[in-house]
């Protein structure tokens, strides 16, 4: 009941209200497309949410009812749960351009091109996505290329991640109005992050002889060691007052036209979802190269004791030995080695399971100092 109340009442009501308000400001093509679902147990909200912000369109001469082009911005988020059970949010923003392939506008089929930038809120993985899609009388197809722009980033204790490069191609051919064939091919960098690539595919057939029945068969994981076959039979009958029950359509009609929703030029791009990542264990050298050091005091008097904090971007899985080095600052009056500070390496150890450590240093007393001087610190891995 809790899940149904959130999904079918709250989320749908908010989506309709947001769409109505947006259409009053940005025009009739503005829309909010909600594919989020809520589970009161476990991960809570999961799925996607997209906002279509229209910028321009045109119609072909003599086809006032059918728009031949559309241009819009699409903002969205995909919320998902990783293998450790942690929720993630991958945001996207992009531009989509679609246009009809003949003088009849979208009725003849539409071709679209798109470009997106995605970023993970939790770990700042970023990737570029370039794609194209087609929807028309005989089916639909999409192709996308995913190019990461960030490298390895620390995540949970002792591990790091990197966004994966890859490409995906998906095709659907409408043999008749009730029978369709689908195939998909994907090539991704291996998730071990070692530079290898893997190719896998999927082939499926779907038959819908009646609006209440759906039958299908699929071969998943083609080209891999864990391929599997899938068979599906679904029955879905609406309850309530039906003036006329739908008729059996059998094998359908060859060359039947597409549904209006399938050729809607304003529909958001659907296949830019969760950012796929490679995961590996972090080594001490990886973390040491990302260590930072800061003074715990903004200023100090000559002869004072000064604290420094060394911090890692993630907890280390074993004791990590670092070296802090003091140096003249970049201000107008840099500190003098051996006079204002001790010019010797300062060892610091960050204990296993932690990400920071502090150390206190003693500044030498310089009785002749009568002006402010600047001091800086750097940190490196212990040799």
At residue 103, the pLDDT reads: 58
- By DSSP bridging, strand 37-39 and strand 213-222 are unpaired
Per-residue pLDDT 10s for the chain (383 aa) are 655 555 666 778 888 888 899 989 988 999 999 888 877 766 678 889 999 999 876 665 554 455 668 999 999 999 998 888 888 999 999 999 998 876 555 456 889 999 999 999 988 999 999 999 998 888 889 999 999 999 888 787 667 889 999 999 999 998 888 899 999 999 999 877 677 899 999 999 999 998 889 999 999 988 887 888 999 999 888 777 667 778 888 888 886 656 655 678 899 998 899 999 988 877 666 778 888 999 998 899 999 999 999 998 877 777 889 999 999 998 889 999 989 999 999 999 999 888 899 999 999 998 888 899 999 999 998 87
At residue 64, the pLDDT reads: 47
Residue 245: DSSP 8-state: P
Residue 168's contacts (CB-CB under 8 Å, 6 or more residues apart) are: 142, 143, 144, 146, 184, 185, 186, 187, 271
128 in Cβ contact with 144 (< 8 Å): no
Question: What would the two tokens of residue 250 be?
Answer: 């059998």
Element (H, E) at 118: strand 110-120
Percentages (nearest 5) of helix, strand, coil residues in the chain: 10, 50, 40
> What does the alpha-carbon distance between residue 146 and residue 119 come to, in Å, rounded to a whole number?
12
Among the listed residues 243, 321, 253, 256, the one whose alpha carbon sits nearest the alpha carbon of residue 287? 321
Residue corresponding to tokens 């999409």:
142
Residue corresponding to tokens 């083609």:
222
> What does the alpha-carbon distance between residue 205 and residue 382 come to, in Å, rounded to a whole number?
60
Residue ranges of domains in the chain: 42-175+254-281, 284-381
Alpha helix locations (H) across 67-203? none
Homologous superfamily (CATH) of 42-175+254-281 is Inverse autotransporter, beta-domain (2.40.160.160)
The CATH number of the structural domain formed by 284-381 is: 2.60.40.2030
CA distance readout (Å), 11 to 24, 31, 365: 20, 14, 67
């Amino acid at each position: 009941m809790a899940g149904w109340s959130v999904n079918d009442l709250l989320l749908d009501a908010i989506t309709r209200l947001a769409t109505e308000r947006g259409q009053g400001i940005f025009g009739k093509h503005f829309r909010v497309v909600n594919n989020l679902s809520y589970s009161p147990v476990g991960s809570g909200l999961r799925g996607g949410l997209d906002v279509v912000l229209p910028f321009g369109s045109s119609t072909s001469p003599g086809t006032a009812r059918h728009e031949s082009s559309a241009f819009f911005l699409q903002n969205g988020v995909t919320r998902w749960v990783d293998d450790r059970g942690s929720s993630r949010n991958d945001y996207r923003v992009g531009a989509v351009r679609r246009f009809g392939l003949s003088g009849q506008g979208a009725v003849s089929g539409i071709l679209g091109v798109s470009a997106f930038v995605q970023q993970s809120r939790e770990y700042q993985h970023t990737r570029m996505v370039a794609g194209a899609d087609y929807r028309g009388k005989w089916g639909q197809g999409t192709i996308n290329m995913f190019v990461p722009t960030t490298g390895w980033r620390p995540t949970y204790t002792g591990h790091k991640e990197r966004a994966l490069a890859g490409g995906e191609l998906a095709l659907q051919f409408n043999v008749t109005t009730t029978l369709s064939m689908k195939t998909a091919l994907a090539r991704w960098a291996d998730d071990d992050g070692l530079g290898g690539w893997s190719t896998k595919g999927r082939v499926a057939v779907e038959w819908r002889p009646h609006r209440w029945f759906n039958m299908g068969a699929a071969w998943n994981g083609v080209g891999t060691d864990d391929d599997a076959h899938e068979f599906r039979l679904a029955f879905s009958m609406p309850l309530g007052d039906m003036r006329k029950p739908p008729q059996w359509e059998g094998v359908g009609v060859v060359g039947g036209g597409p549904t209006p929703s399938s050729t809607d030029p304003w529909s958001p791009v659907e296949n830019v979802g969760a950012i796929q990542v490679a995961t590996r264990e972090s080594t001490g050298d990886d973390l040491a190269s990302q260590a930072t050091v800061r003074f715990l005091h903004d200023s100090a008097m000559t002869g004072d004791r000064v604290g420094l904090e060394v911090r890692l971007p993630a907890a280390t899985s074993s004791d990590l030995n670092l070296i802090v080095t003091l140096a003249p600052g970049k201000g107008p009056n840099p500190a003098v080695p051996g006079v204002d500070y001790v010019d010797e390496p300062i060892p610091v150890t960050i204990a296993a399971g932690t990400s920071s450590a502090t150390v206190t240093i003693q500044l030498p007393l310089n009785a002749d100092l009568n002006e402010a001087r600047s001091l800086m610190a750097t940190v490196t891995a212990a040799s």
